[in-house]
Amino acid sequence: SLNCLDWSLLTPATEEMLALAEEVKGRFQGDPSFEYSLAEINPEAAARLVQSGKEPVMKEEARLIATIEQIDRAVGIVPRGAFVKTPLGSVHENRHFEGLSLVEAKKLSSYFHFTEPTNLKNKTLLEKADLDPSTDFLNSLEHDIPQGKGSWSIQLEKGGSVVVLRSLLWLGLTFYHVPMTKQFGYVYFGTGEKNLDLPFML
């Protein structure tokens, strides 16, 4: 939206958009038609694009689309059990999900990345023995790098009635869950820049 009254949907991100957005650094300009010249930002990446017959420029609208996709892939999360995987492989909202208990809600292992899993097969047989294939089919936050609470901050709000997780990798991403209820979600208010200084902050 340009005026916070009229809204339009963004197109889906392509892998090419995501690759270009990785090269662009700095704050957004606030103008969807603004063009970033990769020749000024990253001459090597611009030269590779020219060789492959593509323009070494990126519009801000495309960068916004790619950044939203990057944030969703990296820190879009859901509580354990909120979604189930059927034996046929499709994923559905779990109608029997009644929320995490307060004890479980305080653990990073109770939250999953809501993206295609990448490292599930690396677990040992002993670790897999405690997993339920219908609910534990996504990557857990406890395996995020830096491990432990390195890339996430967990806090209790409103006298412990709301659990809030904040991403330290994408500053401005806040996830909330009300234990013992189906209420959860996340929102991002930030500059659209990944916190590349995270390893030095720990």
User: What is the pTM (predicted TM-score) of this model?
Assistant: 0.82
pLDDT for position 129: 58
Angle at 114 between CA 131 and CA 120, to 5 degrees: 40
Give me the residue label for tokens 């208010």: 189
- 3-state secondary structure labels for all residues of the chain: CCCCCCCCCCCCCCHHHHHHHHHCCCCCCCCCCCEEEHHHHCHHHHHHHHHCCCCCEEEHHHHHHHHHHHHHHHHCEEECCCEEECCCCCEEECCCCCCCCHHHHCCHHHEEECCCCCCHHHCCHHHHHCCCCCCCCCCEHHHCCCCCCCCEEEEEEHHHCEEEEEECCCCCEEEEECCCCCCEEEEECCCCCCCCCHHHHC
Per-residue pLDDT of 83-136, as tens digits, reads 999 888 889 999 999 999 999 999 998 999 998 876 655 665 555 556 777 788
Which pLDDT value is given to residue 187?
96
Tell me the domain boundaries of the chain: 15-74, 77-200
